[in-house]
Amino acid sequence: MFGIRSEDDWIELYQKKGALWLHDNNPKRPHALLTSGKHSNGFFNSELVMEDPVLLDEACTDLMDILFTGYFNFGLPQRVVGPAMGAITLAHDLARKIGHRRSWPCLRAYVEKEGEGESARMIFKRTNICAGERVLLVEDVLTTGGSVDMATKAIEDVGGVVLPFVVVLVNRSGLKEVNGKRIVALIDRPMPMWNPDECPLCQQGSEAIRPKTPIENWARLNTTY
C-alpha to C-alpha distance for 86 and 142, rounded to whole angstroms: 11
One-letter amino acid of 42: G
Q: In this structure, are residues 147 and 154 in contact, taking their beta carbons and an 8 Å threshold?
A: no
Per DSSP, the three-state class of 196 is helix
- Give tens-digit pLDDT for 81-92: 999 998 999 999
- Give tens-digit pLDDT for 99-131: 999 999 999 999 999 988 778 899 999 999 999
Question: Which DSSP helix (H) or strand (E) runs through 223?
Answer: none
- Give the pTM: 0.93
Concatenating the DSSP letter of every residue in 128-144 gives ---TT-EEEEEEEEESS
- Closest listed residue to residue 196, CA positions, set 207, 180, 186, 188: 207
Q: pLDDT 10s per residue in the chain (225 long)?
A: 456 899 999 999 999 999 999 999 999 999 999 988 999 999 999 999 999 999 999 999 999 999 988 789 999 999 999 999 989 999 999 999 999 999 999 999 999 999 887 788 999 999 999 999 999 999 999 999 999 999 999 999 999 999 999 999 999 999 999 999 999 999 999 999 999 999 999 999 999 999 999 999 999 999 999
Residue 201 confidence (pLDDT):
98
C-alpha to C-alpha distance for 123 and 57, rounded to whole angstroms: 27
Q: Of the CATH numbers 3.40.50.2020, 3.40.1080.10, 2.30.38.10, 3.40.190.10, which one belongs to the domain with range 7-222?
A: 3.40.50.2020
How many Cα neighbours within 13 Å face the side chain of 191?
Answer: 22
Peptide bond preceding 214 in cis form (omega within 30 of 0):
yes
Residue 2 confidence (pLDDT):
56
Q: In this structure, are residues 39 and 32 in contact, taking their beta carbons and an 8 Å threshold?
A: yes
How many Cα neighbours within 13 Å face the side chain of 106?
Answer: 25
> Would you give the DSSP letter of residue 194?
B
Q: In this structure, are residues 120 and 114 in contact, taking their beta carbons and an 8 Å threshold?
A: yes
Residue 4 confidence (pLDDT):
82
Residue 111 confidence (pLDDT):
98
Residue 1 confidence (pLDDT):
44
Measured from the Cβ of residue 213, the count of other Cβ atoms closer than 10 Å reads: 11
Backbone angles phi, psi at 203, to 5 degrees: -65, -25
One-letter amino acid of 48: L
Measured from the Cβ of residue 148, the count of other Cβ atoms closer than 10 Å reads: 27
